[in-house]
């Protein structure tokens, strides 16, 4: 079977890029796999790509690449949804190249990995292929306008895959898609190439984009309480982003310059997590929680806010980590200090986290995708029939509303019992 992934930019750093490459490598054990990058801004990807997986960039944004001289490069996209936050990075040249690729694509399965790219998938991919949209962001993270733009395109696909059961339930309730399989399959995280943490270093690690939603400000405030009780412990925050200067000023203002540091981006991050005894996540929301699994794969327990949607599905509170209320600085500090004070319990929790993290091995996740492909192929006709019936009902409903006629409702089936 030939499988193609559509990725925004395979040459950057991010959870979607890493998990796509992980899944592509696992599927390459049994299939012919390629990743199609909408754009390319550097010579080689930042993440190591399995040599069995082909990488196809569509538009080269480097000055020496030549595509920036194409007049279409400077025209706004007409096919990428305008409400998608990456819209400003798209143009008519990408529209044209992706349409050409998809119309001539020989893949049996084509998987999109972000909302706007999934619209390309719906518009241009051949109907003979299984067309699957992955959602790496929460439903609620999309604006109302974007959800309205996505709905008609998603209803034309074969499946929508979220990273959590909670988000799949939201899609089923809020964006009904007859004939479209809506389900959750978590991201995969391979076993790291480093030894697990010994759980003895006085280090708390955290990682992610330095943006408001990750709430590193809350973590720094909580660590100020930790440092007052345990001055030998250190906080290391890995990542880059717009909040770096503000966070640095906060560290300085709280007198934490000697114990809390912004370390910049690291890839792979597991080598840094393995040097820590705890990992902290203070986010207001997480669509999945890649850093949580990455830390657990290093045998490090995670103290995380119990934010929507991912942490509560990954962490068993009190067993593989701790969950605390979102936005609660004192609860976060207290949970960290509880584990700092209990070294044997901390190490036992790390061992449990390591064992639990094996559920995210790429091989079983790839098998779940193989099962999905087989199921979608087997019930293709039934799903098409279901979609067609739903389309007819919607059209009849619109006609009825237009002419002020109450829609005819089917009488309930007889129960087979006589009334008393």
Domain 203-360, CATH among 3.30.70.360, 3.30.420.40, 3.40.50.300, 3.40.50.2000: 3.40.50.2000
**Which tokens in the block code for residue 147?**
């959800």
**Domain boundaries along the sequence of the chain:** 2-184, 203-360
- Among the listed residues 303, 168, 137, the one whose alpha carbon sits nearest the alpha carbon of residue 226: 303
Please indicate whether the domains covering 2-184 and 203-360 agree at the CATH topology level: yes
- Among the listed residues 243, 249, 289, 244, the one whose alpha carbon sits nearest the alpha carbon of residue 263: 244
CA dihedral for 400, 401, 402, 403, sign (positive or negative): positive
- Among the listed residues 69, 71, 95, the one whose alpha carbon sits nearest the alpha carbon of residue 81: 95
- The answer to whether residue 413 scores a pLDDT higher than 90 is no
How much is the pTM? Answer: 0.88
- Among the listed residues 33, 57, 34, the one whose alpha carbon sits nearest the alpha carbon of residue 45: 57
2-184 — its CATH code?
A: 3.40.50.2000
Query: Once rounded to an integer, what is the mean pLDDT over residues 158-182?
Result: 96
- State the pLDDT at residue 405: 67
- State the pLDDT at residue 408: 52
HSE-up of residue 2 (Cα within 13 Å, Cβ side): 8
Query: Once rounded to an integer, what is the mean pLDDT over residues 306-325?
Result: 96
Crossing angle between the packed helical segments 216-229 and 329-341, to the nearest 10 degrees: 50
- What CA–CA distance (Å, rounded) separates 332 from 313? 19
Backbone angles phi, psi at 386, to 5 degrees: -65, -45
- What CA–CA distance (Å, rounded) separates 273 from 238? 10
Return the DSSP state at 136.
Answer: -
- The answer to whether residue 170 scores a pLDDT higher than 50 is yes
Query: Once rounded to an integer, what is the mean pLDDT over residues 361-375?
Result: 96
Mean pLDDT of the chain: 93
For residue 407, what pLDDT band results from cuts at 50, 70 and 90? low
């Amino acid at each position: 079977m030939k499988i193609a992934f559509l990725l925004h930019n395979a040459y950057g750093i991010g959870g979607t890029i890493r998990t796509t490459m992980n899944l592509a490598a696992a599927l390459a054990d049994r299939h012919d796999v390629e990743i199609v990058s909408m754009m390319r801004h550097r010579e080689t990807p930042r993440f190591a790509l399995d040599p069995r997986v082909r990488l196809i960039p569509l538009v080269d944004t480097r000055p020496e690449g030549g595509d920036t001289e194409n007049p279409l490069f400077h025209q706004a996209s007409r096919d990428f949804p305008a409400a998608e936050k990456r819209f400003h990075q798209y143009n008519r040249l990408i529209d044209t190249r992706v349409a050409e690729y998809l119309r001539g694509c020989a893949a049996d399965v084509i998987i999109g990995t972000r909302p706007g790219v999934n619209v390309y998938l719906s518009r241009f991919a051949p109907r003979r292929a299984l067309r699957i949209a992955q959602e790496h962001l929460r439903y609620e993270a999309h604006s109302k306008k974007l959800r309205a733009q996505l709905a008609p395109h998603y209803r034309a696909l074969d499946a929508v895959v979220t990273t959590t059961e909670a988000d799949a339930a939201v899609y089923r309730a809020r964006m009904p898609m007859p004939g479209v399989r809506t389900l959750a399959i978590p991201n995969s995280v391979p076993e790291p190439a480093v030894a697990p943490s010994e759980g003895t270093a006085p280090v708390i690690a955290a990682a992610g984009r330095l943006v408001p939603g990750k709430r590193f400000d809350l973590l720094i405030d909580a660590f100020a309480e930790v440092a007052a009780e345990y001055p030998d412990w250190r906080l290391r925050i890995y990542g880059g982003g717009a909040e770096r200067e503000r966070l640095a000023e906060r560290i300085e203002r709280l007198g934490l310059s000697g114990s809390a540091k912004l370390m910049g981006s690291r890839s792979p991050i597991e080598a840094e997590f393995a040097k820590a005894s705890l990992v902290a996540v203070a986010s207001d929301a997480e669509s999945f929680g890649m850093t949580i699994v990455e830390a657990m794969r290093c045998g490090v327990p995670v103290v995380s806010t119990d934010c929507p949607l991912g942490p509560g599905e990954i962490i068993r509170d009190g067993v593989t980590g701790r969950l605390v209320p979102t936005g609660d600085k004192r609860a976060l500090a207290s949970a960290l200090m509880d584990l700092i004070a209990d070294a044997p319990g901390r190490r036992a929790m790390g061992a449990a986290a390591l064992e639990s993290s094996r559920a995210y091995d790429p091989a079983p996740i790839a098998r779940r995708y193989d099962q999905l492909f087989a199921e979608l192929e087997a019930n293709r006709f039934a799903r098409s029939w279901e979609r067609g019936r739903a389309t007819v009902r919607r059209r009849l409903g619109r006609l009825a509303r237009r002419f002020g006629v109450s829609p005819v409702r089917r009488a309930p089936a007889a129960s087979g019992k006589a009334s008393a």
